[in-house]
Structures are given as C-alpha cells and as structure tokens.
Amino acid sequence: MCGIVAYIGEEQAFPIVLKGLKRLEYRGYDSAGIALINKEGLLNYKHKGKVSELEKHTDKKNIDGTIGIGHTRWATHGLPNDVNAHPHLSGNENIALIHNGIIENYDTLKEGLIARGHTFKSETDTEVLVHLVEDIQEHEKVSTAEAVRLALNNVIGAYAIVVMSKDNPNQLIAARKSSPLVVGIGKEGDFYLASDATPIVEYTNEVVYLEDEEIAIVERNKGLRLYNIQNQEKTPYIQELEMQLEALEKGGYEHFMLKEIHEQPRSIKDCFRGRLNVNKGWVGLGGIKDYEQQLATAKRIIFVACGTSWHAALVGEYLFEDLTRIPVEVEYASEFRYRNPIIGEGDIVIAISQSGETADTLAALELAKAKGATILGICNVVGSSISRITHAGSYTHAGPEIGVASTKAFTAQVTVLTIMALAIARKKGTLNEAKFRRIITELELIPEKVAKVLESSDYIESISEIYKDAANALYLGRGNSFPVALEGALKLKEISYIHAEGYPAAEMKHGPIALIDEAMPVFVIATKGQSYEKVVSNIQEVKARKGKVIAIVTEGDKQVKAMADHVIEIPDTDEHLVPLLATIPFQLLSYYIAVMRGCNVDQPRNLAKSVTVE
Ligand code: F6R
C-alpha cells in the first residue's frame, strides 16, 4: 500500500530510486514520483500510472543528484492523477515529502494551515503534512528534522515518511508509525530507505527496521541517528538481511505470479525444513517452542487474518479442531477489531499475514494484546510489524511474494498451521502414533506431489481457454476443501475480474443453485475422503441443471470423471493435506484465464499488496 524509497550517498540517486520503485510497485501503481536535489535546486517529477510512465516522462530531463526520494502510490485521498502523486512539496517548495499511510486528522490540520495562509494543490493528506512541517519550521525557527518531529506529535494516523529539504541537501529524515520503513546501511557511508528490504538487498545486507514513532536521520559524514518522537536518542539495532536478490527477479517466467506458483514445491519444503523429521517421528516450530505448553492447554484459539490469509486460517480451523481438539474461531481482522471481542484467560490469538503489515490484522492483535491475550504470528516477511509485536511466532519462509495475488504464501501458511497443529496434538496426546506418522510421512511428500500437479499446467491452460469468457463462476468444496473453494473464487475474481463465489457444496441448494444454467462453470473439489459421496451428489445436482462441472479429483477417480465436463487429477494424500494440492489447479486456472483476458496479472486493478490502511 504505497511504496517509498530514498537514497543518499555518492552515487546517482535517480537510477537507484527508480529501480527501487519498480521493486515496490506491487504496493501500489496509481502514480509514481521522484524528487532530487542538485545544483539547480529541488526537482520534482511525478506522473499518473506506473513507474514506467514516470521513466518515460523523465527521459532527457535533469535527473542529476546524489540525494533523492521516490514514491509509488495506491490512492487513498484524492484521484490517482499527477497532482495527487507524491512527492509533495511545501508551499515554498523547499521541502519534499513522501508518505505511506493515512493522516486521519488531516482535515483539521488543513483548516488551521489554510487560516495561516497556506494554499494546497492536491487533495491529499500528505500535502497537509509537508505544509505543517514548513509552518512549524518558519514559526519555531527550528531545523527541518525538529520541525518533522514536532509535526508528527500533532498527527493522528499511520505514516512512513521520508523528508528532504533544500536547506540541507546532505540529510534525509524518516519516521514511521504503523507503516513499515527499513534503513539500509551501505558500504560507503551511503543510505537507502524503503518500505521493505526489496529495493535495498542488492546494495547492502545491513538494515535497521524502524519501530513505531521512531525518527531516523541519515546524513553524509554523520551516519545514522535514531530518536523517538519525544526526542530521546536511541541505539539503532542493525540486523542482517537474509533475502536473496534472485528471489526478486522473474527468473524467466512471464509473470511473478506464475513463478511463485511454480516455486511451491520448493517453498513448501523450505517451510518445513528443520521442522519435520519423519525418521524420528518429530515435528516442531522453534519460534513457538516456549508457548507449546500454553497452546496445548489453551481453552480457545482465535485466528485473525484478512483475504487469502483468512482462508488459510479456515484450513487451520479444521486442522486444529480435528487434531488438537481445541475450539477455534476464525475472525476477519477488520471485524474483530471493531467489536468488543470476548477474550478470556487462556485464549490465544494467532495472526496470519503474508506481509506482516496488514493494518487491520495489526490492530486486531494490538486489541487482543491489550485485553491480556497471548498473541502469536504466522508471517512471511521477516522483520515485519506483526512479527515484532507478537509474543512469538513462526515464519513461513516462502521467500518474497511479489505478485499481488497470494499463492505460495497461502500454501506455506497452511504448511505452518499443519506443523503447529501436529506439534500441539502430540503434546496434548490427542493424536495417535499411527495417524501422526501417516500425516507427517505424507507431508514430506507434498512438495513432489505439488510438482506433479504443476505438470498438468498445459491441460489446465486448455480448460482455461474454454471458460475464459464466463461472466460468473461457482467454487464448491466441503470440509477443509471449502476454504480452498473460497480461495479459488478469490483468485479468479481478483486477477481476471470474473465474478466468482465460493460455497460449501451442500449450501448450494439453499440459494446459489438458482444461478446454475449452461453458462455457469462450477469448479468442485471432489477428492477421495469423508465427504466424497456427498460431493458426488452435489455434482449431480449441478449437472441436472446443465451447469458445467470442472472437478478436482484424486488420481484414478472414475465416478466423477463419468459425470464432470472436465477433471483435473491430483495425487492421493492424507485428507488433512488435500488443501495443499487442491489449491494449485485453481491458482493456475485463474492465472491462465486472466492472461487470456489481457489482464495485468501481477498488478490487478485497484489492488495493492500489503494493505497498510484500514
Ligand atoms: C489475495 C491477497 C489478499 C491478502 C490480504 C492479506 O490474493 O493477497 O487477500 O491475502 O490482503 O494480506 P496479508 O497476508 O499480507 O496480511
């Protein structure tokens, strides 16, 4: 949700910032802009649309300078146009500011500033903030850094900002509250600032993740200084980045999404590496080891998450309830935070989030923590806000997910949830040896079985061709395949813009069956297991109304094959693990359909990854 990048050092800032923006474009692509300071003064280039538009727009312009800030926007306040694009300048055009987040009291601040003679060009909350800094600097006669600090003391909302001023072209000022910001410490006294580490990794692996209400000042010859907004100096905690540069490239694939779908045999393996030992009959998650006992005796577990991560939580509900016999609730973080949720002693709240930055999930966790709950996290992005505010947690180790539609993060979340449920079940004694052995043996085989499903890509592409022009689609599943149906429908709608609904298969007769006619593709998960026969009946109900059935079945299935229009086979596995395989064909189907419809698969309209606003 908006990406910010900044650089100060000996190199030319423009190419570094531009490249950084391209890496962060998954966070928003409504507009892009870069401001630089050089001998001519403060230059500000910004343009509606993608970073490539900005690049065209700046061709043959003066882009000289060794200090610069850049922004790629996901619009909150104001239309996505040139004027509302960041960076925003102060009235005297001395100060430039980029911002990710929302200034909630911007209206009140704006009224006060207008009364003091300020005029505004854009409709954004960000322009208000840069005018506030200017106003304070003029009236209090303080440095820009001090004016930023004082301004932030007047701000309600979320922000990650970087500020630079013509008055001091050797300095960048950055701050964060509820929106992420990382400082990269370069080898030659240069500094990189960004919303996440992806623009930084090719220059340095030494980083400092800013905490809420911290201000970082990076200055040539003076290095990095860190303060809280009360102006107390703090010691920066330098961490080493583990990210690999290749993980940020498309690696020969046409889109990140396709690359990430194909990475799943490896990402699932990376996820259980060191956490699963079939020979010794052992599973465990180092990150939550100290909380295993508390989890085993928990009266209730509440999962909070959004979107795809919420679907993973639903799979988790099936796993935890069946294996550990602990009651589980799955909550949309955005709903949970605005209720007055009942959280009692012995409850554990677990947040699931790829980015670890989703505003609603963060707020839900903070609420649970304030009510005395133990809060745990399952995140993909190392060092993210959720991973830092939780008492403990486990990373999914899926590697950077750049495609806006989540794929490998989902299967990694389900893998962590499986291991967690197994470990707790063993501790509690709710899982017998034979069943435990069967599940872990099958879990270890999942990467190769995912690879097998991926071999059906061409066949799935041919099915996609048939249904690419559908106006609607239904996804049906039962038990732990119901969340897979929801996830399949979400994937299709978000990247191909086809309206799709996911339902528990048996619910169809309570309403959605009215939608079925010969134009309606119905995607059904009909794998071997407890509900197989019931799903077969549901398929018959669809066929009786001339619906088109595309079924995901277990290898060798004959019964569904005889009824369905198309079947996609997946290898047999333990029933608990079916979501890890059944989700793959749905990811591929949405991908191919979206490509065939000419949609921008990696950057679907109106969306952004890492939703750091409410
Ligand atoms: C869908 C998708 C979103 C995210 C949701 C939560 O493909 O990516 O629905 O799952 O925005 O994001 P995280 O997991 O980062 O909290």
- The per-residue pLDDT for range 197-239, each reduced to its tens digit, is 999 999 999 999 999 999 999 999 899 999 999 999 999 999 9
Task: Tell me the CA distances in angstroms from 16 to 9, 20, 35, 459, one per residue in order.
Answer: 11, 6, 12, 42
Question: Residue 81 pLDDT more than 80?
Answer: yes
Higher pLDDT, residue 339 or 564 = 564
Nearest CA to ligand 1 atom 9: 307
How confident is the model over 40-66, as a mean pLDDT? 93
Question: Cβ < 6 Å from ligand 1: which residues?
Answer: 306-309, 353-355, 358, 361, 405-406, 490, 494, 610-611
CB of 479 closer than 8 Å to CB of 318: yes
Distance 308 CA to ligand 1 centre (A): 5
Atom of ligand 1 nearest to the CA of 305: 16
Our CA dihedral for 435, 438, 439, 441, rounded to 10 degrees, sits at: 150
CB of 521 closer than 8 Å to CB of 494: no
- pLDDT, residue 286, reads 92
Q: Which of 314, 609, 610, 612 to mutate to test the pocket of ligand 1 (most atoms within 8 A of CB)?
A: 609
CB of 57 closer than 8 Å to CB of 99: no
**CATH level 3 topology of 250-454:** Rossmann fold (3.40.50)
- pLDDT, residue 32, reads 95
- pLDDT, residue 294, reads 95
- pLDDT, residue 258, reads 97
Give pLDDT tens digits for 59-74.
889 999 999 999 999 8
Grade residue 113 by pLDDT with cuts at 50, 70 and 90: very high
Residue 355 DSSP SS3: coil
- pLDDT, residue 382, reads 87
End-to-end CA distance of the chain: 11
Atom of ligand 1 nearest to the CA of 407: 7
For 3-247, which CATH class?
alpha beta
Grade residue 353 by pLDDT with cuts at 50, 70 and 90: very high
Distance 410 CA to ligand 1 centre (A): 9
pTM over 0.95: no
For the chain, give every domain's residue range.
3-247, 250-454, 456-614
Q: Do 3-247 and 250-454 come out as alike in CATH topology?
A: no
Whole-number Å distance between alpha carbons of 109 and 519 = 54
Q: What is the pLDDT of the chain when averaged over all its residues?
A: 94
- pLDDT, residue 309, reads 98
Q: What percent of the chain has pLDDT over 70?
A: 100
- Give every CB contact of residue 514 below 8 A, 6+ residues apart in sequence: none
- Give every CB contact of residue 431 below 8 A, 6+ residues apart in sequence: 323, 324, 422, 425
Tokens matching residue 534? 């019931």
Nearest CA to ligand 1 atom 16: 353
CB of 312 closer than 8 Å to CB of 410: yes
- pLDDT, residue 459, reads 98
How confident is the model over 521-542, as a mean pLDDT? 96
Tokens 């602990």 — which residue? Answer: 326
How confident is the model over 83-107, as a mean pLDDT? 95
- pLDDT, residue 569, reads 98
- pLDDT, residue 583, reads 98
Question: Residue 127 pLDDT more than 80?
Answer: yes
Tokens matching residue 549? 């059935």
Grade residue 246 by pLDDT with cuts at 50, 70 and 90: confident
Superfamily of chain region 456-614: Glucose-6-phosphate isomerase like protein; domain 1 (3.40.50.10490)
Question: Residue 610 pLDDT more than 90?
Answer: no
Which amino acid is it at 303? F
Atom of ligand 1 nearest to the CA of 355: 15
Task: Tell me the CA distances in angstroms from 356 to 109, 276, 317, 359, one per residue in order.
Answer: 30, 24, 20, 9
**Neighbouring-strand partners of residue 387:** none
Tokens 């802009």 — which residue? Answer: 33
Our CA dihedral for 466, 468, 469, 475, rounded to 10 degrees, sits at: 90
- pLDDT, residue 339, reads 86
Nearest CA to ligand 1 atom 11: 307
Nearest CA to ligand 1 atom 4: 307
Closest CA to 50 of 603, 495, 612: 603
The answer to whether the Cα torsion of 406, 411, 417, 419 is positive or negative is: negative
Give pLDDT tens digits for 439-474.
999 999 999 999 999 999 999 999 999 999 999 999
Distance 253 CA to ligand 1 centre (A): 22
Atom of ligand 1 nearest to the CA of 310: 10
Question: Residue 78 pLDDT more than 80?
Answer: no
How confident is the model over 550-565, as a mean pLDDT? 97
**Neighbouring-strand partners of residue 70:** 5, 34
Tokens 């909550």 — which residue? Answer: 331
- pLDDT, residue 3, reads 92
How confident is the model over 502-520, as a mean pLDDT? 91
Catalytic residues: 2, 609
Which amino acid is it at 47? H
Distance 402 CA to ligand 1 centre (A): 12
